[in-house]
Chain A
Amino acid sequence: MSSNVVWMVARREIKTRMLTKSTIISMAVMLVVIVAGIFVLDYFATRDAHAPASKVGVAQSVSALEEHLEVAAAQQGLDLELVALADDADAEEALTAEGDDALEAVLSGDPASPEMLVAEQPDDAIQQAVSTAVRSYVVNEQVTGLGGNPAAFEEALASAVPQVRSIEPEDSPDRFGPAYVVSMVMISLLLFALIGSGSIIAMGVVEEKTSRVVEILLATIKPTQLLAGKILGIGIFGMFQVVLLGGAAVGGVAATGLTRSLEVDLGASLALLVLWFLIGYAIFALLFGGFAALVSRQEEIGSVTTPLMFLLFVPYYLTMFMVPSDPDSTMVRVLSQIPVFAPFMMPVRNAFGALSGWELGLSLAISLATIPLLVWIAARVYQRGVLHTGGRMKLGDALKAGRS
């Protein structure tokens, strides 16, 4: 019977939040923004990838450089398109032509010291490629003149580089690579989801106090049942939003193929995010719900939610600054076992591959063990505070034994 009552309270929360015009409109707007944002992002990403190649005109007199230019451009990662020109072609006209036909530079004269004609400023990358090509051409000429084998010479030259060896394990990922981006997006989502649902719970508790409906509710059901139903209902509503918006984001990304360059297991990351959202939600929902009962008016909500916001922002920023720089430091390892830090630190440490299984297991166990304690504290504060009207109730008074 009691679980039935909790479910009835939860269902009312879901229904009244889900079916209001403002909720439906804001959800629709967010959906459109997310999907449109992904398509816009994809447009810019693909446009960069298909940027037209730089065109360089090569006069017949310097055609010997072509082969070297291609090698140099490839080494630099420069997309270079060579256009063969007759010696008497009008170079100036080719440089100032409209649209995609315009050449970036025209090479002519002596291949060992060619003239590079440009419209205004020479492009650095092209200039470098040309310099390399010319140097390579001259070296080839000299080696051939001395009776050597240019191919063997180049091969020897290519291998004449230091062999760099790092003491760090080779698979340690890039600090600001895809793992960083994905994990930051994840903990930011987590932060906003927790702040959003925490605020809704706090406002719901105070709304029941201000409208005094709490008295007829508490004549029928226990304060703990009311609080549990509220947390459950708003949690389901929050998860629905996360799944809907997150699903739209994942769907959009999959449709556009934006993730092709990301070497991150998105599915596993999402599963971990959902797990830590649930644990973080349980922790913070209890705190927000219990503490909101201390005040009687909407204007006073800030005085109880502000400290809780700090409790959310501090782990978030510490995670952002400490974990990527050294995901395995003692400080991080210790902090990530503390329940309010764990939901933020654990997913990021996991994304950086710096998490051993036992650490994840231990932090889950610690967090889960904390929840009953928080249930006890929240229920106690809530029971004492929820019928208290007038000014703000002190936390100490609420925690003292007995019911008022």
Chain B
Amino acid sequence: MSTLEIDHVSKSYGTLRALDDLTFDVRAGEIFGFVGSNGAGKTTAMRIMLGVLAADSGSVRWNGTELDLEARRSVGYMPEERGLYPKMKVGEQLEFLAGLHGMSPTQARDAVVRWTDRLGVGGRRGDHVEKLSLGNQQRVQLAAALVHNPAVLVLDEPFSGLDPVAVDVMSAVLRERAAAGVPVIFSSHQLDLVERLCDRVGIVRSGQMVALGTIDELRTTDRPQWLLDVGAEPSGVLARLAEVPGVTARVAPGRPHAVLATAAPGTPPEVGQQVLRESLAVGPVHEFTPVRPCLADLFRGVVSAEHDAEPTAVAPAFAEVAR
């Protein structure tokens, strides 16, 4: 299978350790979201995957063999710092790039027409890139990453600067490529998009992978929480829940009439039902919601745990209760 493996990659800039033994893989047909705060090492990792930078140690493999120059020709890459020849026509430029990736001139011409039409810049093929608006330049940049029908997609912030229509087109393109068996990795700060699109997510901090898994896996915590809205005084609910072993409760932040109950690690999952029963004994329960951290919460937890000894510990979440 065509899996992209990043294997124990380290990279330092002088004394700054940009990547520290980074290891993960992107499987065929999978959309992988690469998340982390600014300066966490996402761009460095992607540049190393593309051979634009050399790693100090470790390797990047595709299909089990080193991702060398020849293999990289079949990778679609969108760098963080966008770049096209400003004084070259959109069509000619894309044909040139497709040619560098090994397409014949006729194949290249067809692909350029197809992708510029699909990305909504078909009418600008004859214009110089510098004449286009930034958003349209961004679309051309995407076309440059997609035009040679890549077997692997590595996209650094592909959604930044796109309008909602272009975001939809781009999302559809990524799903379609993944469905065709292509490993897709992209970085983004738009976590709602990542949550919606990605099969798996990796959160990177200080050059290390601190959380890795499917969205569901990541949202599962060892300290389950429930939000309760009971038709009674919260103090009564709190007193009643204090009786349940392994459960602590307090008034939910931002909702003075609601209560947030948290189970200690190791408590059996049935404790949730017990919490519900105890609450019903106090008054009518209008709302009973298991609170699971969303990606943004996970992300904040990871980032705020900057000096934690245990990097995978995800701080309990309570801010977003809407779900």
A-side residues, CB < 8 A to B, are 1, 5, 8-9, 12, 15-16, 20, 207-208, 211-222, 387, 402-404
Contact = CB atoms under 8 A, between A and B. Distances in A.
A211 B82 CA distance: 8
B100 interface: yes
B69 interface: yes
- Tell me which of A12, A387, A404 has the highest count of chain B C-beta atoms within 10 A of its own C-beta: A12
Contacts of A207: 85
A277 B78 CA distance: 40
Closest 8 CB pairs of A and B: A212-B83, A213-B83, A219-B50, A215-B79, A212-B81, A219-B77, A403-B54, A220-B100
A215 B83 contact: yes
Given A211-B85, A212-B82, A216-B97, A403 B73 contact: no
Contacts of B73: 220
A5 B102 CA distance: 9
Interface string B57-88: 00000000000011011010111011111111
B126 to A, nearest CB: 14
Nearest to A5: B100
A219 B79 contact: yes
B86 A387 contact: no
User: Interface range on chain B: under 10, 10 to 19, 20 to 34, or 35 or more?
Assistant: 20 to 34
B96 A8 contact: yes
B108 to A, nearest CB: 11
A1 B83 CA distance: 25
A1 B50 CA distance: 19
Contacts of B244: none
A217 B88 CA distance: 15
Contact of B79 (A20, A212, A221): A212
Contacts of B47: 215
B100 A218 contact: no
A8 B81 contact: no
A305 B39 CA distance: 34
Contacts of B70: 1
A116 to B, nearest CB: 74
B309 interface: no
B69 A387 contact: no
B51 interface: yes
B301 interface: no
A16 B145 CA distance: 22
Contacts of A222: 69
Contacts, number: 66
Contacts of A20: 87
Contact of A387 (B53, B101, B102): B53
Contact of B100 (A208, A212, A215, A217): A217
A218 B53 CA distance: 10
B75 A216 contact: no
B21 to A, nearest CB: 20
B52 interface: yes
A136 to B, nearest CB: 77
B261 interface: no
B181 interface: no
- Tell me which of B51, B72, B77, B83 has the highest count of chain A C-beta atoms within 10 A of its own C-beta: B83
Contacts of B86: 211
Contacts of B50: 219
Nearest to B145: A216
Given A8-B96, A8-B99, A8-B100, A219 B75 contact: yes
A219 B86 CA distance: 19
Contacts of B84: 211, 213, 216
B275 interface: no
B72 A216 contact: no
29 contacts: A1-B70, A1-B102, A8-B99, A9-B100, A12-B96, A15-B92, A16-B85, A20-B87, A212-B79, A213-B83, A214-B83, A215-B52, A215-B79, A215-B83, A216-B77, A216-B78, A216-B145, A218-B51, A219-B50, A219-B72, A219-B75, A220-B72, A220-B97, A220-B100, A221-B69, A387-B52, A403-B53, A403-B54, A404-B13
B263 interface: no
A16 B87 contact: yes
B151 interface: no
Interface in B163-197: none
B144 interface: yes
Contact of B54 (A9, A213, A402): A402
Contacts of A215: 47, 52, 79, 81, 83
A222 B51 CA distance: 9
Nearest to B83: A212
B52 A218 contact: yes
B53 A216 contact: no
Nearest to B82: A212
Contacts of A403: 53-54
A214 B78 CA distance: 12
B297 to A, nearest CB: 34
A211 B75 contact: no
A216 B51 contact: no
Contact of B85 (A213, A220, A387): A213
